[in-house]
Amino acid sequence: MKSVIQVNDLYKLYRVGDSYVRALDGVSFEIREGEFCAIVGTSGSGKSTLLNMLAGLEKPTKGEVIIDGHHIEGLKEDELVRFRRENVGFIFQSFHLIGTMDAVENVALPLTFRGVARRIRTEKAERMLDMVSLSRHKKHLPNQMSGGQQQRVGVARALVSDPRIIFADEPTGNLDSHTSEDVMNLMKRVVQEQGRTLVMVTHDDHLAEYADRVFHIIDGRIVKIEERTGAAPRRKEREHESI
Amino acid sequence: MRWSDLLRMSISSLKRRRLRTFLTVLGVVIGTASIVVMISLGLGLQQSMYEEVEQNGGTTSLTVTGKQANDMYMYAAMAEGEEQSDKYITDEVIEELRGLEHVKSANPVLNVSAIALKGGYMAYINLYGMSAEELESRNFELKPGGRLPDPDSQELELVYGNMVIQDFMEESTGKGYWETGELPDIDLEHDSVFLILDQDGYFASQDTVSAGMSEAAGETGPETSGQKKAPKKYVVRASGVMEGDGINDYNANSWSVFCDIDILKSCLQKEFRGRAIPGQPTTQSGKPYKQFVYTSASVQADDMEHVEELTTTIRSLGYDVTSNIEYINSMKKQFAMVQAVLGGIGAVSLFVAAIGIANTMMMSIYERTKEIGVMKVIGCGLKNIRQMFLLEAGFIGFMGGIVGNLLSLLMSVVINALVSGQSMGIGGSLSYIPVWLVGASLVFAVLVGMAAGYFPALRAMKLSPLAAIRNE
């Protein structure tokens, strides 16, 4: 299968006082097209830093991030914005919907940034909301919806621009376990149906079970890559050779 | 992003914080209104100056004078160190002036003094003969029922300045308005007066004794000589009197009497047949020239811009030129200064408003840090974010500009209403808001808003998108 994301020897150093903290300490991996990957680690393990670098929100200290054949570690900020606009969808832990816009407008926002005409983007956003079963909440403002509903709007927004890759940062972090399950199932279903690549960051091992592959990260190193394929999860664990 | 979307987002975020937007706009309203009102006062002054100039012959008119026949003028002019022209203004010269570039019209003006008699009153009047076209261009404001002299009439018809009435003195005592404090009981509009063009002759015939004494011996008697020399008294009627009361309403033409030049010319020529007309140059032997010499020529330039050029041209032909342009130019400089000072005072308040806008935008950006970050993460271009905030700031300026202009129009009306109650001797209105001022102040308010919003917008653009997805 074709690889969509390729990470080579990625380092990120933060300066704390006189010493440096290695948030990422030489990470290399590959994510294939259509895969659902989970990056699992405790807080402070560097998992969020890794996600930020994949999305071009942070610059690595060293190493390369190649997405769909393009190096993104050297891009300028406006080029990164364009890259995200064209290729990436985002799902946030605290939803981050725009409070003054109703569900349809929120979902249509990425299309607005692309300059899509109002009629077309509204149509598409409504289709997305139907897909995440929020047909009855199209005109609701975020504060009129429950957390689960808001996150489903978030999922719809991430998908509306047909991105190749979707990044999700603790997508269920602010939801109760029941709602979490709903949202996870929704995400998994959509990714499978539409063949998109999903990269999710979580600290919850249980949620990682939804993924095809799980990257365990501790202290900035990937220590283990779990792979499960097929309907019957087949566990194939192997130790990751750390560099 | 589309402009319509940018605009919609900017307006919706302004709407979100109604009170703050309102207060910020209010600052711009006051700033714009103070600038516009201040400048409108300056423009009102300028306007009334132009009106005054208009009465004085307008911005495009030039008065061309040539050599003066009267020696007295010559000395006066030379005493002032001015170069005296050595050419007379004749019909040929008028034709020559008409042929010059930028000349719209050129007409002769003949100025003579005459005596007017009415009842027991007598007045020395300053009579200006002008062509019908020239009279027309002077834009006299006549009292109702008045009209300009008819050039085809056989008789002289006069247009009196509104203050000419003060010239009439009691013939017996020699007391005029300034001594008695009373205007003579003459209705210039309807009464006819006797006009005497030959002043010397009139006095000669009046004062028979002195006349007799001064006459060379050999005269048969005072009666016959008086009879013989008594000048013709023309019975003339007014075709119009200028608007305004006889004491206070001064304008440039108040003291003058106007009539048609051709009729005046023929009257003079008839009156002084075979003799030199006073004011006309004479040859060494005291004979008049063949050609009639006018006092001056009134030239209209086609445009105010060309007046100076035309002045130089005519001067190079050897004539003296006076126009209002020098006066206007110096006044213009003064008014520019007055306007700059007034506008500067207003600009201070707009500057304060600009600080208000900057403050509001900064606050808005702090509040929306997360929102801006999210937008960046999901693909809103940096340029679009900057545009969004610039639009917001510009919109504040725009609304403030519109309301500020409405307010200043209102204030202008009120100021003018208050001032017109008192007569201040200023023609027109004190506050004058032309369309360009409305447009310019609106554009200025928008620009100020955008300038004030520029650095906040830049800041928003540079906000790190990471701040948004960091979980707090």
Q: Do A85 and B1 touch (CB under 8 A)?
A: no
- Going by the DSSP 8-state scheme, the letter that residue B277 receives in this structure is P
DSSP string, B26-54: HHHHHHHHHHHHHHHHHHHHHHHHHHHHH
Residues of A with CB under 8 A from a CB of B: 52, 55, 57-58, 77-78, 81-82, 84-86, 88-90, 92-94, 96, 98-101, 109-110, 112-115, 117-118, 157, 161, 169-170, 173
| Res. B111: pLDDT tops 80 | yes
Q: Do A100 and B16 touch (CB under 8 A)?
A: yes
A82-86, A99-103, B254-258, B285-289: range with lowest mean pLDDT: B285-289
| Res. B213: pLDDT tops 60 | no
Closest partner residue to B465 (CB to CB) among A57, A93, A173 is: A57
In this structure, what CATH number is given to the domain that contains residue A91?
Answer: 3.40.50.300
Q: Do A82 and B379 touch (CB under 8 A)?
A: yes
Report d(CA B403, CA B442) in Å as an integer. Answer: 10
Q: Do B469 and A85 touch (CB under 8 A)?
A: no
- Closest CA relative to residue B164, chosen from B279, B78, B233, B251: B251
Cβ-based contacts of B374 with chain A (< 8 Å): 92, 96, 98
Calculate mean pLDDT across residues A11-15. Answer: 89
In this predicted structure, what is the pLDDT of residue B403?
96
In this predicted structure, what is the pLDDT of residue B208?
54
In this predicted structure, what is the pLDDT of residue A234?
41
Cβ-based contacts of B12 with chain A (< 8 Å): 100-101
Q: Give the number of A-B residue pairs with CB atoms closer than 8 Å.
A: 76
Cβ-based contacts of A115 with chain B (< 8 Å): 1-2, 5
Report d(CA B194, CA B183) in Å as an integer. Answer: 19
Q: Do A118 and B13 touch (CB under 8 A)?
A: no
CB atoms within 10 A of CB B221: 10
| Res. A237: pLDDT tops 50 | no
Q: Which residue has the higher pLDDT, B194 or B77?
A: B194
Nearest chain B residue (CA) to A159: B378
Q: Does B16 touch chain A (CB under 8 A)?
A: yes
Q: Do B2 and A115 touch (CB under 8 A)?
A: yes
Q: Do B375 and A113 touch (CB under 8 A)?
A: yes
The answer to whether residue A123 is domain-embedded is yes
Report d(CA B395, CA B391) in Å as an integer. Answer: 6
B351: left (phi over 0), alpha (psi -120 to 50) or beta: alpha
Q: Do B471 and A57 touch (CB under 8 A)?
A: no
Calculate mean pLDDT across residues B214-241. Answer: 59
- The secondary structure element, H or E, covering residue B340 is helix B325-367
Q: Do B379 and A110 touch (CB under 8 A)?
A: yes
Cβ-based contacts of A159 with chain B (< 8 Å): none
Report d(CA B378, CA A161) in Å as an integer. Answer: 10
Q: What are phi and psi of A136, to 5 degrees?
A: -90, 0
**Which range marks the domain in which residue A154 is found?**
35-52+76-239
A70-84, B71-85, B123-137, B149-163: range with lowest mean pLDDT: B71-85
Q: Do A113 and B468 touch (CB under 8 A)?
A: no
In this predicted structure, what is the pLDDT of residue B285?
63
Report d(CA B357, CA B24) in Å as an integer. Answer: 6
The predicted complex's ipTM stands at 0.87
Burial class (CB in 10 A: 0-12, 13-18, 19+), A206: exposed
DSSP string, A87-147: HEEEE-TT----TTS-HHHHHHHHHHHHT--HHHHHHHHHHHHHHTT-GGGTT--GGGS-H
In this predicted structure, what is the pLDDT of residue A204?
87
A99-113, B145-159, B333-347: range with lowest mean pLDDT: B145-159
Residues 6+ apart with CB under 8 A from A232: none
Q: What are phi and psi of B354, to 5 degrees?
A: -65, -40
Nearest chain B residue (CA) to A80: B379
Calculate mean pLDDT across residues B218-241. Answer: 62
Interface of B with A in 356-385 (CB under 8 A): 370-371, 374-384
Calculate mean pLDDT across residues B453-465. Answer: 88
Calculate mean pLDDT across residues A102-124. Answer: 92
In this predicted structure, what is the pLDDT of residue B189?
78
Terminal Cα distance for chain B, rounded: 30
- Closest CA relative to residue A64, chosen from A12, A6, A116: A6
pTM score of the predicted model? 0.69
Q: Indicate the SS3 state at residue B249.
A: coil
In this predicted structure, what is the pLDDT of residue A232?
40
Q: Indicate the SS3 state at residue A212.
A: coil
Calculate mean pLDDT across residues A56-82. Answer: 89
Q: Do A58 and B466 touch (CB under 8 A)?
A: yes
Going through B201-331 in order, the beta strands assigned E by DSSP cover 234-241, 256-260, 296-301, 320-323
The answer to whether residue A160 is domain-embedded is yes
Cβ-based contacts of A82 with chain B (< 8 Å): 379, 381
Q: Where does the pLDDT of residue B409 fall: very low under 50, low under 70, confident under 90, or very high at 90 and above?
A: very high
Cβ-based contacts of B18 with chain A (< 8 Å): none
Q: Is the dihedral of CA A80, A84, A90, A94 positive or negative?
A: positive
- The secondary structure element, H or E, covering residue A217 is strand A213-218
Report d(CA B389, CA B364) in Å as an integer. Answer: 9
* Nearest-5° Cα angle at A157, A135 to B14: 95
Measure in Å the smallest separation between the Cα of A201 and chain B Cα atoms. 13
Q: Where does the pLDDT of residue A167 fall: very low under 50, low under 70, confident under 90, or very high at 90 and above?
A: very high
Report d(CA B375, CA A109) in Å as an integer. Answer: 8
| pLDDT tens column, A78-104 | 888 889 888 899 898 888 898 888 999
| Res. B187: pLDDT tops 90 | no
| Range ranked top by mean pLDDT from A100-114, B123-137, B224-238 | A100-114
Return the residue in A12, A86, A96, A199 with the most chain B beta carbons within 10 A, the one to mutate for interface testing: A96
